[in-house]
Amino acid sequence: MTQLALVIDLNVCVGCHACVTSCKQWNTSGQAGPMFDDRPYGENPTGTFFNRVQTYEVGEFPCTETVHFPKSCLHCEDAPCVPVCPTGASYKRKEDGIVLVDYDKCIGCKYCSWACPYGAREFDENQKVMKKCTLCVDRIYDESIPEDRRKPACVISCPTSARLFGDVHDPDSEVSIAIRENGGYQLMPEWGTKPANHYLPRRKTKMHIHEDELTRADNPLKKEDIRHETSKDTTLDDWLM
C-alpha cells in the first residue's frame, strides 16, 4: 500500500520558516507567515499552523549549536486520532495513507488533539474545527499544476531542499533511499503509531574555535573606542554611548 510522507533532513534545515509561510499561504489563502493569524501582537493571539519550526540551542558556549526541528502531522500508519473521533471526521485514506479531517463532520470536540502524541492537531477558532497538515492533498493530485511541482507547498519552497516527499513503502523511492542511506528515523516510535514522516539526523562535524574568533573584528564600539570605562560589575550600561 502506498504511504506518502515527508522526509526532513535536519542537517540542512536552516530554520528560515519558508515552509511555514508557504504552508499557510497555500492552505489558508493568504494569512501567510510565521505569526498568528489574529492579534499576532495582541492579547490571546490565535491562528492555525499546519507546520511549525521549533528551534533549540544545545551545548555549552562556545561549543553551541542551533537545531531547527520542523514538525507537522506525521500521517501515522496507526493514527491514534482516527479511532477516537466520535463522528468519523478523522480518517486515513487507503489509497495513499494520508490522514485527513472532514470539516463537514468535525464538531471541534478536540478528542483527536488529546490522542495525538505529537501535538499536531490545531483548533481553528474561526471555523470551529480541527485542522492539520494534509500533505497538500489538493495540490499533489492537481493535474493543472506541472507534474514536477505536484508536491506539498513546504517541499517546493524549501531553499535548502531539506524536505523530500514520496512513498516510504516503495523501497526504490527517493525518500526510502534517503532514509536507508542516512539513518532516517521516526519520531517517538515507542508510541507504536508508526509515523510515516521520517527525519534524517544531523551529522556531526568536528570544529575547533580559536579564542580570537569569539571577538568581532568589526565591532564599531571597539573600532571607535567609544566605550566607557567599565566597572567591576560590568553591565550593559557600561557600553552605552
Q: What would the pLDDT profile of 103-144 be if each residue is shown by its tens digit?
A: 999 999 999 999 999 999 999 988 999 999 999 999 999 999
Return the pLDDT at 65: 85
Start-to-end C-alpha separation, the chain: 67
Query: DSSP per residue over 28-72, as a string?
Result: HTT--SSS-SB-TTSSS-B---SEEEEEEEEEETTEEEEEEEEEE
Q: How many domains does the chain have?
A: 1
Domain carrying residue 123: 4-200
Among residues 18, 30, 61, the alpha carbon closest in space to that of 159 is found at 18
Give the model's pLDDT for residue 241. Answer: 40
In the chain, the amino acid numbered 96 is D
The x, y and z cell numbers of residue 236, run together, are 550593559
Query: pTM, whole model, 2 decimals?
Result: 0.82
Is the pLDDT assigned to residue 15 strictly greater than 60?
Answer: yes
Q: And the C-alpha cell for 25?
A: 499561504
Predicted pLDDT at 47: 85
Q: Torsion angle of alpha carbons 35, 6, 56, 215, nearest 10°? A: -100
Confidence tier at 237 by pLDDT (50, 70, 90): low
β 90-92/63-72 pair status: unpaired
HSE toward the beta carbon, residue 240, CA cutoff 13 A = 3
Q: Taken in order 26, 30, 34, 40, is the CA torsion positive or negative? A: negative
Q: How confident is the model at residue 224 (pLDDT cuts 50, 70, 90)?
A: low
The answer to whether position 29 is within a domain reads yes
Rg, the chain, Cα only: 22
How is 123-138 classified by DSSP, letter by letter?
Answer: EETTTTEEE---TTHH
Asked if residue 45 is part of any domain, the answer here is yes
Give every CB contact of residue 29 below 8 A, 6+ residues apart in sequence.
Answer: none
Q: What is the CATH number of the domain that holds 96?
A: 3.30.70.20
Cell numbers for 6, please give them: 515527508
